[in-house]
Structure 1
Amino acid sequence: MLYFYLKPNITIKSKTYLYKKYSQNHFNMKNAIAGFSKLSKEEKINWIANEYFSNPNEAISTIKQYWNSDENLQKLHDEFIENTITNFYLPMGIAPNFLVNGKYHSIPMVIEESSVVAAASKSAKYWSTRGGFKATVLNSEKIGQVHFIYKGDSEKLEKFFSQIKNKFFIATESITKNMQKRGGGILDIELRNKTNELENYYQLHATFETKDSMGANFINSCLEQFAKTLKEESLLFDDFLEEEKNIEVIMSILSNYVPNCVVRAEVSCKVEELSDKNISNPKEFAEKIIQAIRIAEVEPFRAVTHNKGIMNGVDAVVLATGNDFRAVEAGVHVYASRNGKYTSLSHAKIENDIFTYWLEIPLALGTVGGLTSLHPMVKMALEILGKPSAHDLMKLVAVTGLAQNFAALRSLTTTGIQEGHMKMHINNILNQFKTTDEERKLIKKHFENNAISHSVVVEFIENLRK
């Protein structure tokens, strides 16, 4: 390991030169720097610009172009993560007309992909005249585990656990006190024997209710106290042999797989009510939707893309509300594989001439803590949603995923997905080629009645400019 102290009175250029000279002589490393986190923001930017760009001044200008003009707001953003140099913006849009459990909502969505917000909005409007969305939180348990190694008699361990189980609750009273006031806390703790999967491996498997908080810090604090109590109590247990007292805790951490923190979203109407100006044969339309979902239920290659469409809606709202979309994605895809094969998250059926379309999805979300009280746009998004509880937010996220999925399948089984997508994507192409306002008018007019593809639009622009 190389430790290289960068003195504060040495300029960034000198620091970089000295480090590069040292590293090239000893390790032949390029673009490496020690003590980067200790540099000022300006020094970090200068190093990045000089090290990676042929025009450093242009790079610095671009980086600073995305700073907030309000210094306090920029400082707030800088402190969200480490080694910040600038902000990376994503568009925030609104999908209106979501009728959910009898109440209208406008859904904020943060996403970079064309057509997603438009598709969700179109589905919301379509279903608002057919009874709207129904959403129900089926359960909201969250999970954490203490993973440990025990080299001894499993029956002794089970006896030990049954005798000290209540001590885990007592030892965490100071941590759980405030959560219990809000109706949450530790629900249960189990000892699980996993030695058939890994030699000497056991776990404390705990379930939690964290109410409006996502609860990661709360759960992890409880788990670390469980681990401490487990170790301390094992040394006092008379039935253990000396070697059995040596319980080795490997780690204590929450799980992002929450199969009992699930919300159901659905829409339904009479088959005949599915008709509109683009659906002349509603029964055929409903049957094609059901068949498309059945394909996603049995074919993993299709299921992945099918579920990705659901997550277009889910992730966009999760991001807008300051929640952890990586945790949600990881948990959702394991849930889609819970029966041993990756399959569709959504389902549809016709019974008694009623078309029903639904999904059940695990969502561990929070509306307090984290970025919810810090990020100005997150606070605004939650305000737009009516300051929802965690359960209400779960419902709104789930219906957005269902709406997005319905829009995608409607396009796929009727006109095809590219027609609508490319109409939305054309602005990206026009921006890429820096078209003028006059050129945009001519291009959009031409493609009102002509098929759109990237190459065709580019060819039209080139011909227009000749």
Structure 2
Amino acid sequence: MASSAATQQPHRSGRISMPRTSRISGFRDLSVEARRAAVAETADIAPESLAVLDPDQGLRVDLADRLVENVVGVMGLPVGIATNFVVNGRELLVPMATEEASVVAAASNAARIARVHGGFFTSTTAPVMQAQVQIVDVTDPEAARLRLLEHRDELVALADSQDPLLRELGGGVRDLTVRVVPSRAGTYVVAHLHVDVRDAMGANAVNTMAEAVADRAGEIAGGRTLLRILTNKADLRLARARAVFAADALGGAAVVDDIVHGAALAEADPYRAATHNKGIMNGISAVVLATGNDTRAVEAGAHSHAISPSGHYTSLSRFEKNADGDLVGTLELPMAVGLVGGATKAHPVAKAALSVLGVASAAELAEVVTAVGLAQNLAAVRALATEGIQRGHMSLHARNVATTAGATPEELPAVVARLVADKAVRVDHAERVLSELRANA
């Protein structure tokens, strides 16, 4: 990531741009047009590049028809901007695509709290994806495993020959490992290709390599090859984020202690861990989706990573109290995202989202996504440890309910206020409130 925003930074075009801040006062109170203008100015991009965020200028049906099959239309999702983020010293505005109320606001608020101690600090491993080749009907699986390892250089060269461009860019096959996997239907020999995919998510590259080596691997092992495909358990492609959240900003020492207690339950109890991790993914999936990446792949990798070595499903994040009494949050998980291939280049909104972020590599994008996941998680656990999740969520959800009930923009404030005051955020109640308001008017 870039150096501190306190100094001048080179713009992506090569010119020097003045430092900017993601702390935009009153951003939520601006009109949509004014927000776009503020985002364009802060991200140092042309305002017209955000025009694709209009439904009639974004993903057209003819383009959608080229992205997937049997197209009959498109479905829009709100794209919000999370403010206040500082990641490795760089000020960032983060696009998030989500239908769930409070997600963008919660991430922005947590990022504001993290700013007190410098924001989020992140790192990644190399962008290594794995492809599996399953070999069945092997009479001597342990010996077959060693035979495959003896032919490692041959198989690696065969796989590497499938993608010379990847090798030119500094990527390519890094290793071959082999596992013997017992199952209810037999014992399988499973070869893993470890491939540095650079700035791609990498599915197409590793799948092509697996197909290429499958027959030869089967010959060496003395069996029949069956499945040859990547694994989304991308545990060699990890992203990490940490942040310190000041106790005073969170609500005091007692709140810090209660957040630690709430997080500890998620570590120990899979029932709590499932919802705890869902809160992390609220942030992660929203950024992954906004940037045109594969939400299902990232989610599968995350939840598989939440299985401890003992087989216990646990929380992905950890929260601790440091020596100063502040809260320290950490998050580490697989993050298979890319900047090339797929919808990242074909979807106009994804291209706009990436221009707002201004990241230069898949590693940078993975780090930002992980920081947002940690921010989202902190916001949720803090809410649970204080007023409960519903209070903060209720007013935002009430807007959706009031709109569904037919409230006009002018009627929304009064209807929302009543729904929250009555603690009855339901469409039937909103309809009754609307009828009363209109009768009195």
Deviation at 1:129, TM superposition (A): 2.4
TM-score, normalised with respect to structure 1: 0.77
Q: Does 1:253 align with 2:235?
A: no
Structure 2 vs 1, CA of residues 250 and 297 (structure 1 numbering), >3 Å: closer, same or farther?
same
Q: Does 1:224 align with 2:211?
A: yes
Structure 1: gaps of 5 or more residues: 1-66, 235-243
Deviation at 1:188, TM superposition (A): 0.7
Deviation at 1:436, TM superposition (A): 2.9
Q: Does 1:100 align with 2:100?
A: no
Structure 2 vs 1, CA of residues 153 and 420 (structure 1 numbering), >3 Å: closer, same or farther?
closer
Pick from 274, 279, 289: which aligns with 1:309?
279
Deviation at 1:274, TM superposition (A): 2.0
Which segment drifts farther, 91-100 or 158-167? 158-167
Deviation at 1:170, TM superposition (A): 2.5
Partner of 1:148: 135
Contact 2:401 2:425 in 1 (8 A): no
Partner of 2:49: none
Partner of 2:368: 396
Q: Does 1:286 align with 2:256?
A: yes
Contact 1:139 1:263 in 2 (8 A): no
Pick from 136, 140, 153: which aligns with 1:166?
153
Partner Cα distance (2:56, 2:322) in 1: 58
Residues 345-384 of structure 1: matches in 2 within 5 Å? 345-353=316-324, 354-384=326-356
Q: Does 1:341 align with 2:345?
A: no
Contact 2:292 2:343 in 1 (8 A): yes
Deviation at 1:372, TM superposition (A): 1.4
Deviation at 1:463, TM superposition (A): 2.9
Q: State the SS of the aligned residue for 1:79.
A: helix
Partner Cα distance (2:183, 2:294) in 1: 33
Partner Cα distance (1:227, 1:462) in 2: 68
- Residues 120-149 of structure 1: CA deviation (Å, up to 9, x unaligned): 111111211232111111453221110011
Partner Cα distance (2:269, 2:208) in 1: 41
Larger gyration radius, structure 1 or structure 2: 1
Which segment drifts farther, 391-400 or 151-160? 151-160
- Residues 79-116 of structure 1: CA deviation (Å, up to 9, x unaligned): 11111011111111100110111111000000000110
Deviation at 1:452, TM superposition (A): 5.3
Pick from 73, 87, 109: which aligns with 2:96?
109
Partner of 1:24: none
Contact 1:349 1:356 in 2 (8 A): yes
Residues 21-32 of structure 1: matches in 2 within 5 Å? none
Q: State the SS of the aligned residue for 2:67.
A: coil
Letter in 1 for 2:401: I
Partner Cα distance (2:142, 2:70) in 1: 50
Contact 2:149 2:176 in 1 (8 A): no
Contact 2:159 2:173 in 1 (8 A): no
Structure 2: gaps of 5 or more residues: 1-53
Contact 1:265 1:398 in 2 (8 A): yes
Structure 2 vs 1, CA of residues 446 and 144 (structure 1 numbering), >3 Å: closer, same or farther?
same
Pick from 315, 319, 329: which aligns with 2:289?
319
Q: Does 1:274 align with 2:247?
A: yes
Letter in 1 for 2:323: N
Deviation at 1:155, TM superposition (A): 5.5
Pick from 434, 437, 440: which aligns with 2:406?
434
Deviation at 1:195, TM superposition (A): 3.9
Partner Cα distance (2:117, 2:398) in 1: 32
Partner of 1:461: 434
Which segment drifts farther, 254-263 or 313-322? 254-263
Deviation at 1:402, TM superposition (A): 0.6
Letter in 2 for 1:267: A
TM-score, normalised with respect to structure 2: 0.81
